[in-house]
Copies of this chain bind each other. A is one copy, B any other.
């Protein structure tokens, strides 16, 4: 499927564009993407997905067959559809760098463009930013819980479709996962790949030992063997029995994987068997229904597990599979705008986030203000696109990972815990308060 199609959007984008077209309305609009409220189980989010959002803005065009379909579908006037033929995004974007911890109400991205451009991209911008930001925020909790152990994304199969699988490999690596099992993510972004074998591989052989032996012999590099198909400890002993022969051939068994049962208990027994057999260098990987809580519990109980394969619960952000987020009009034709729907009040205008640090370099609070309001702090939103083109190549994933590692070290300690912490202080600057009141007076007067 063409995931970059401009038809991958809500119908109302086109009905609104048609109304703007009919009236010749195309003044500059300012939209911002932000999360209204953090999920209870998240002390912070991690900005992610900007790279794909910018790709979309740079490349989105209407194909001839799409224009034909719009013409034929009975909802749109021919002159309006004709006006879409040369549609492209020519606006400016400022954004939080990927890998930046962020909080409720803070814009992750600001679009400044003629309204027919800024509006049409709404759906896909939200679709791209919310997903990776949500996954990075979940994955970073696993990273914090794993305290330096290897973490591998195993979740493609239960991800919500192809793009979710691919982008969750990216977002989790960005958040600190060592690698992924998803081959396409390795090809595309150079993310380190990890893989072992399935139970079916063992079952296809007449004996488990034969399956192990064939596998190790067939791989140029060191192998990881799955040992829980029948009896985990028995399998560890079979492996020990095979090792002298395989080692003599120059083959290497790097690790074993345990995927069922009491992972901590099996790991302890298998570790003892391997150590007693003189194989302390064979690592133990665990997988199966893992998330940050189970990782923490296993490690707190002293399980000798060197790495974790984390899938479904991370790739679907299972305890909170969506963010309460929005892409909202904040200014049109030079006038700040504000939605006043019940429970959905927004802060108008072009906003900036200023982050303060204490003397130790720890984050001490953010201020949400308007662009141009001087603050004694670091501005977080940076220019990334002007006139529809990136102003610089996007940073590599390695740079983004390093940026997040640095930021994590500056997070107040209680935010790095899995337990819900008191909210990080985000205050609204007086200048923004005044702007909001002015916007209310303006719309309050409207007939």
Contacts and interface: CB of A to CB of B under 8 A. Distances in A.
A204 B25 contact: yes
A365 B51 CA distance: 51
Contacts of A316: 160, 316, 321-322
Nearest to A333: B204
A1 to B, nearest CB: 5
Contact of A184 (B8, B181, B317): B8
Interface residues of A, number: 112
A282 interface: no
Q: Is the interface of A mostly helix, strand, loop or mixed?
A: mixed
A162 interface: yes
A123 B388 CA distance: 37
Contact of A197 (B16, B199, B209): B16
A367 interface: no
A156 interface: yes
A21 B218 contact: yes
A181 B260 contact: no
21 contacts: A1-B3, A1-B166, A8-B165, A11-B194, A15-B219, A16-B198, A19-B197, A19-B219, A29-B200, A75-B219, A115-B204, A126-B158, A130-B157, A199-B339, A203-B329, A203-B332, A203-B337, A204-B333, A207-B446, A228-B341, A318-B321
Interface in A303-342: 312-313, 316-318, 321-323, 325, 328-329, 332-333, 337-342
A12 B341 contact: no
A165 B127 contact: yes
B183 A11 contact: yes
A424 interface: no
B14 A261 contact: no
B186 A73 contact: yes
A1 B198 contact: no
A434 interface: no
A77 interface: yes
B69 A342 contact: no
B208 A15 contact: no
Most buried by B among A157, A159, A164, A218: A157
A447 interface: yes
B229 A341 contact: yes
A131 interface: yes
Given A1-B162, A16-B200, A160-B168, 14 more contacts: A3-B161, A8-B156, A11-B194, A115-B204, A124-B162, A127-B159, A161-B167, A200-B328, A203-B337, A204-B337, A259-B341, A260-B342, A312-B322, A316-B322
A196 B12 contact: yes
Quickly give the copy total for this chain. 2
Contacts of A74: 220-221
Contacts of A201: 16, 19, 119
Interface string A294-307: 00000000000000
B8 A340 contact: no
B164 A340 contact: no
A413 interface: no
A378 interface: no
Nearest to A156: B123
A441 interface: no
A359 interface: no
A339 B229 contact: yes
Contacts of A43: none
Nearest to A259: B341
A268 interface: no
Given A130-B158, A160-B131, A340 B229 contact: yes
Contact of A157 (B123, B218, B219, B447): B123
